[in-house]
Amino acid sequence: MRIAAATLFVVLTLQAHAAEGDKTLVLPRALKAGEIAVIEVQVGSIARGQEIHVTTASGRELGVISPFGVRSGHEAGTYPIPIPADAVVGQQLTVHLSVTGNGAEPHAPTPLQIRSVKVVIGSSSAGQTDNREKK
């Protein structure tokens, strides 16, 4: 009971503090042992030197998307980022994306800079995957 209450509190806290650049994603089901969530970030057109910094809502590092080899003006493509299992609360995951670099303060991406973010479930045991996706 106490654990359930604590979990609910965490979820409510995350929602209450949802900030610009935060995206809450819902996994198709709860993770099983040996599985991890992977988010796929479709990056649009960003300037050379700009990166997409991905953290949890609380600021825990999840990865940095740093395009390489993209022609100027072209969209940057889709990048997978693995999510530690303990960053997922229940079936929910809130990630914070910010655009960094080029001398500007980190800021929330525009819809043209981040086209979409979705979450999938991957398994470390080959062949066991859940391909269902949620936008």
Partner 1 sequence: MNEPNLARRRWLMGCGATLLAAQMPFARSAPTTAKYRRYNVASVEGQKALKSYAAGVQAMMNLPATDPRNWFRNAFVHLMDCPHGNWWFYVWHRGYLGFVERTIRDLSGDKSFALPYWDWTQSPQIPDAMFDGVLTPTGSAFEKYTGNLAVFTSFAKQPLSDYWATLSAAQKAQLAARGYNQFDNLWNDVTGLDPKSGDGVSGNVAFATTCGSRYLSRDNPKLDPKTAYDVSPFVITSGLVLPTDFYNPQIYLSFTSSKTPSHNTAPSTTTKFSLLEALPHNKVHNAIGGVGAIDPGPYGNMVNFLSPVDPIFFLHHSNIDRLWDVWTRRQQHLGLPILPSGDDLKTFSNEAFLFFVDNGRYVTDGKAGDYTSTAVFDYDYEPGFGEALIDAPGGLMAKAAAASIQGLAKGNTGSLRADTSQIEQHLASPESRPLTVSLTVTRPQESSTAREFDVLLNAPPGVTQVSADSPYYAGTVAFFGPPMRGMAMLMDSTFVVPLPKRREAFATVQGAAKQEVNIRIVPSQGKDAHALTLKGLSLSTP
Selected from 21, 22, 23, 67, the binder of partner 1 by CB under 8 A is 67
Which two three-digit tokens encode residue 105? Answer: 């303060």
Q: Which helix (H) or strand (E) holds 53?
A: strand 51-56
Centroid of chain to Cα 54: 6
User: Who's near 54: CB < 8 A, 6+ residues apart?
Assistant: 39, 41, 62, 63, 64, 65, 81, 95, 96, 97
Q: Is 76 in the site for partner 1 (CB under 8 A)?
A: yes
Q: Is 47 in the site for partner 1 (CB under 8 A)?
A: yes
Q: What is the DSSP letter of 84?
A: -
Q: Which helix (H) or strand (E) holds 15?
A: helix 2-16
Q: Is 126 in the site for partner 1 (CB under 8 A)?
A: yes
Q: Is 118 in the site for partner 1 (CB under 8 A)?
A: no
Q: Report, in Å, the least distance between residue 75 CB and partner 1.
A: 4
Q: Is 12 in the site for partner 1 (CB under 8 A)?
A: no
Q: Is 79 in the site for partner 1 (CB under 8 A)?
A: yes
- Contact footprint for partner 1 (CB under 8 A): 10, 33-34, 36, 38, 40, 42, 44, 47-49, 51, 53, 56, 58-72, 74-82, 84-87, 100-103, 115, 120, 122-127, 129, 131
